[in-house]
Chains A and B, each alone.
Chain A
Amino acid sequence: MNASRIHGIVLSGVGGQGVLSLAQILLEALRRSGLQALQSEIHGMSQRGGSVHAQVCYSKLPLTSPILDEGGADLLIALEPLEALRYVSMLRLDGHLVVSEEPQMDMAGYPPLDDVYAALKVVRGAHLIDTEDLARKLNHRQAGGMALLGMASRFLPVEDAVWRDVISQRFESKGARVLEKNLEAFEAGRGLIHDPVGA
């Protein structure tokens, strides 16, 4: 990472998908990696099935701004394809996008899915994942979020052991089985990105 600038992650999705929960895992992992880190989120009406987004800034510099500028994000993590498209312009030219292909279409005027996928595939640095298929294979309905985090981890300055620690801490109260399933989903996502650039 570049020591003289702020790095940032944008997360997006739909209320109830766990965007804020993922953001908190990222924040904790970056902080434990010895970096300055801030997270910004918007609550309120957005909890009711509307668009939700959060940002995580990290840096070796002191941090006071929780908000990234357009073109200031290194990474966009999207739990839903349409919600990914809203934030593409937040990404730096060399930024990466990890996105679930699984649409949440219960809204008026959702564009044709093929158009959405096409618009995502033209973004340089986009990595799409069929979270529905992965969830089936892992027999874990909510594997998508952790798999995306696993993909994202390939672009972030966080050691393997720190990820394991933070994820363990997050799920320890839910029992060994739940933790194991989440670590499995994380690893599955992590395995999908080879030879990351700019990590």
Chain B
Amino acid sequence: MVQSTLALGVEAVGCAAFDAGIKGAFGYPGTPSTEGFEAVERLIHKALDGRVAQWAANEKVAYDLAMGMSYTGHRTLVTMKHVGLNVALDAYANSALTGVRGGLVLLVADDPGMHSSQNEQDSRRLAEFAWLPCLEPSTVQECYDLTFRAFELSEALQVPVMLRIVTRLAHCRAALVRREAQCPTSLGLVPEAAIQNWVLIPANARRRYVDLLEKQPRLMAETTPLNRLVPGTTRRGVAMSGMGRAYFGQLLHENPDLAALPRLEIAAYPVDPALEQAFLAQVDEIVVFEEDYPVLEERLGLRGTVKVRGRLDGSLPRTGELSPRLLKDALGLAASTGKTATSLELPIRAPRFCDGCGHVDAYEALQEALVQVGAPETRVFGDIGCYTLAAQEPMAAIHAVVEMGASISMAVGAALAGQTPSVAVIGDSTFGHSGLPALLTAVDSGVNVTVIILDNRVVGMTGQQPSQALDHVERMVRGMGIPDDQLQVLLPVPKQHDANVSAVVAALRHPGPSVVVFRRECIQSIRRGVLKDHDRQERERCTAEVCS
């Protein structure tokens, strides 16, 4: 009998990548993609067969690492959340032109409903934009099977393949049947005759763009077998993908009458227009169930031959996640009756800083320092991480949070408009991710900007992954051109409050750029002993090299 294990959808992707014989996995943490990398990382660490799992400083770096590995002929997985793909978009879009050597699969986890993200952009649009294939599973087992398929497709078509999942599937735990693991093998380096394909100077890029467009029918020939047209007996049809497919499939088990509806089940893009045409010829009206943007809905609506219902005509909400209830309503199925909800008002229990978190002490010092310099109303530019929680009342210590690394550049922009003092708050990992170039510009601008780096030594919010900035923050700050006397490293504890306030006051008063690092390890990381080995090794190294 085949053994099954329990796995999250996103973990199933990692398991499949391992079993498909990848040489390495790369990524940057981001909910709900993080556990995909961690699953393959665990397998690689256990295998001890020379494979690598490496977190990168940001998603673009991760993608480029994967491209380099592919160049050597090895299979590779790269993982990120949807907004991370914005950071890696330059690499992703251009990799369509170079193509790949070893199979390259990009796991992107979208977050419809924005459970832990700043937008609900749809990565399928970016695959379409780059002219690249995208596979979209709807169950945990499909996460595994389609990842396997994605590696085969990537090598057959010599392009990167996106595997798009959403939060509900990423964090759905179910039985998973794995295949026998393949050993990593290499197709060999990009052959000499193909080197020019990887050199995107205009003459080559023009040729490669034509190649990519000419490849589209072959892409469709490969994706079409993963899509399915199921005939029915009514003139009302259903088109669906991802969780739409999962929810409809469930309703079908409970309401066998739904089998009368012709249905178009999409698991791979691009979708063959002939398949769409064949579906539309069977119906007068359809409803479309898909997560995030109305991608299929718009395509099917463009044909103008049938009435298309979905997010655009109000049959489904324009934003947010699908749910079984929304499908039932759109299909005219009776809703089930449950118990009566309480009439008691239930205030929201918002996430908050952990008890004893160093970020709280840092923010308290910053807020008091702003009072002392007579600028308590200063708008502070924040960034992405646990410390974003400070935007909530009653603390309300930061007043803008946009995307990774934005805090420093926005504070400089505001300073250039005359805001004094101008303050940015950014975490250590976010600083390493995309704060560095911003700090370089801050130094070049010469304006009065105070950059507060909240250094908790890990990527706190996503589960205390190692921060690439660990042990490097001061050197990076100095390297960007901040002079020694404008770099202060403080310990955010209540006992140090007064000294910390004075130090921040000095930074705020300095007419040029200055950096204040508040460093105290994340208390969750301490509890789990995440850095115990690292710190012991550092102590031993210090004893051996410096102190002897």
Asked if B349 contacts A47 (CB within 8 A), the reply is: no
Q: How far is the CB of A30 from chain B (nearest CB, A)?
A: 11
Task: Map CB proximity to B onto A27-43 as digits: 1 under 8 Å, 0 otherwise.
Answer: 11001000001111111
What CA separation (Å) do A28 and B6 show in the bound complex? 8
The bracket for how many chain A residues form the interface is: 35 or more
Q: How far is the CB of B384 from chain A (nearest CB, A)?
A: 11
Asked if A31 contacts B175 (CB within 8 A), the reply is: yes
What CA separation (Å) do A65 and B172 show in the bound complex? 9
Asked if A123 contacts B339 (CB within 8 A), the reply is: yes
Asked if A69 contacts B336 (CB within 8 A), the reply is: yes
Q: Please tell me which one of the listed residues B173, B341, B344, B350 contacts residue A27 in the complex, with CB atoms under 8 A apart.
A: B173
The answer to whether B254 has its CB under 8 Å from any CB of chain A is: yes
The answer to whether A68 has its CB under 8 Å from any CB of chain B is: yes
Q: Which residues of A67-118 have CB atoms within 8 Å of chain B's CB atoms?
A: 67-73, 82-83, 85-86, 88-93, 95, 107-111, 115-116
* Residue ID in chain B nearest A109 by CB atoms: B347
Collect the chain A residues with CB atoms within 8 Å of residue B171's CB: 40-43
What CA separation (Å) do A70 and B342 show in the bound complex? 14
* Residue ID in chain B nearest A16 by CB atoms: B354
Asked if B346 contacts A43 (CB within 8 A), the reply is: no
Interface of B is mostly: loop
Q: Which residues of A92-151 have CB atoms within 8 Å of chain B's CB atoms?
A: 92-93, 95, 107-111, 115-116, 119, 123-124
The answer to whether B135 has its CB under 8 Å from any CB of chain A is: no
Task: Map CB proximity to A onto B129-168 as digits: 1 under 8 Å, 0 otherwise.
Answer: 0000000001110000000000000000000000000011
The answer to whether B32 has its CB under 8 Å from any CB of chain A is: yes
Asked if B167 contacts A42 (CB within 8 A), the reply is: yes
Supposing A27-B173, A48-B353, A68-B324 touch, asked if A43 and B247 sit within 8 A by C-beta, the answer is: no
Collect the chain A residues with CB atoms within 8 Å of residue B139's CB: 64
Asked if B351 contacts A45 (CB within 8 A), the reply is: yes
Collect the chain A residues with CB atoms within 8 Å of residue B138's CB: 64
What CA separation (Å) do A69 and B331 show in the bound complex? 14
* Residue ID in chain A nearest B250 by CB atoms: A65
The answer to whether A14 has its CB under 8 Å from any CB of chain B is: yes
* Residue ID in chain B nearest A118 by CB atoms: B344
The answer to whether A50 has its CB under 8 Å from any CB of chain B is: yes
Supposing A27-B6, A63-B250 touch, asked if A72 and B351 sit within 8 A by C-beta, the answer is: no
* Residue ID in chain A nearest B352 by CB atoms: A49
Collect the chain B residues with CB atoms within 8 Å of residue A27's CB: 6, 173
Chain B interfacial residues counted at CB < 8 A: 50
What CA separation (Å) do A149 and B403 show in the bound complex? 41
* Residue ID in chain B nearest A28 by CB atoms: B6
- Residue of A23, A42, A69, A123 ringed by the most chain B CB atoms within 10 A: A69
Asked if A67 contacts B168 (CB within 8 A), the reply is: yes
Collect the chain B residues with CB atoms within 8 Å of residue A119's CB: 342-344
Asked if B247 contacts A65 (CB within 8 A), the reply is: yes
Q: Please tell me which one of the listed residues A38, A39, A61, A93 contacts residue B254 in the complex, with CB atoms under 8 A apart.
A: A61
Q: Please tell me which one of the listed residues B6, B253, B337 contacts residue A62 in the complex, with CB atoms under 8 A apart.
A: B253
Asked if A83 contacts B172 (CB within 8 A), the reply is: no
Asked if B6 contacts A93 (CB within 8 A), the reply is: no
Q: Please tell me which one of the listed residues B254, B344, B349 contacts residue A14 in the complex, with CB atoms under 8 A apart.
A: B349
Q: How far is the CB of B165 from chain A (nearest CB, A)?
A: 12
Q: Please tell me which one of the listed residues B336, B343, B354 contacts residue A48 in the complex, with CB atoms under 8 A apart.
A: B354
Asked if B249 contacts A65 (CB within 8 A), the reply is: yes
Q: Please tell me which one of the listed residues A4, A47, A48, A65 contacts residue B324 in the complex, with CB atoms under 8 A apart.
A: A65
Supposing A65-B249, A107-B349 touch, asked if A40 and B172 sit within 8 A by C-beta, the answer is: yes
What CA separation (Å) do A31 and B247 show in the bound complex? 21
What CA separation (Å) do A138 and B440 show in the bound complex? 60
Q: Please tell me which one of the listed residues A49, A72, A86 contacts residue B354 in the complex, with CB atoms under 8 A apart.
A: A49
The answer to whether B31 has its CB under 8 Å from any CB of chain A is: yes
The answer to whether A6 has its CB under 8 Å from any CB of chain B is: yes
The answer to whether B49 has its CB under 8 Å from any CB of chain A is: no
* Residue ID in chain B nearest A49 by CB atoms: B352
Collect the chain B residues with CB atoms within 8 Å of residue A64's CB: 138-139, 245-247, 249-250
Collect the chain B residues with CB atoms within 8 Å of residue A107's CB: 347, 349-350, 352
What CA separation (Å) do A93 and B325 show in the bound complex? 17
Q: How far is the CB of B288 from chain A (nearest CB, A)?
A: 18
The answer to whether B116 has its CB under 8 Å from any CB of chain A is: yes
What CA separation (Å) do A43 and B11 show in the bound complex? 14
What CA separation (Å) do A71 and B333 show in the bound complex? 14
Supposing A48-B386, A67-B168 touch, asked if A38 and B247 sit within 8 A by C-beta, the answer is: no
What CA separation (Å) do A93 and B336 show in the bound complex? 10
Q: Which residues of A contact B (CB under 8 A)?
A: 4-6, 14-15, 23-24, 27-28, 31, 37-51, 61-73, 82-83, 85-86, 88-93, 95, 107-111, 115-116, 119, 123-124
Q: Beyond A65-B246, A89-B341: 13 further Cβ-contacts under 8 Å?
A: A4-B254, A6-B254, A42-B171, A43-B31, A43-B171, A61-B254, A64-B245, A64-B246, A65-B324, A66-B169, A69-B323, A92-B339, A119-B344
Shortest beta-carbon contacts, A-B, top 6: A71-B338, A44-B116, A50-B351, A65-B250, A48-B351, A109-B347
Q: Which residues of B contact A (CB under 8 A)?
A: 6, 31-32, 115-116, 138-140, 167-169, 171-175, 245-247, 249-250, 253-254, 323-325, 328, 335-354, 386, 389, 461
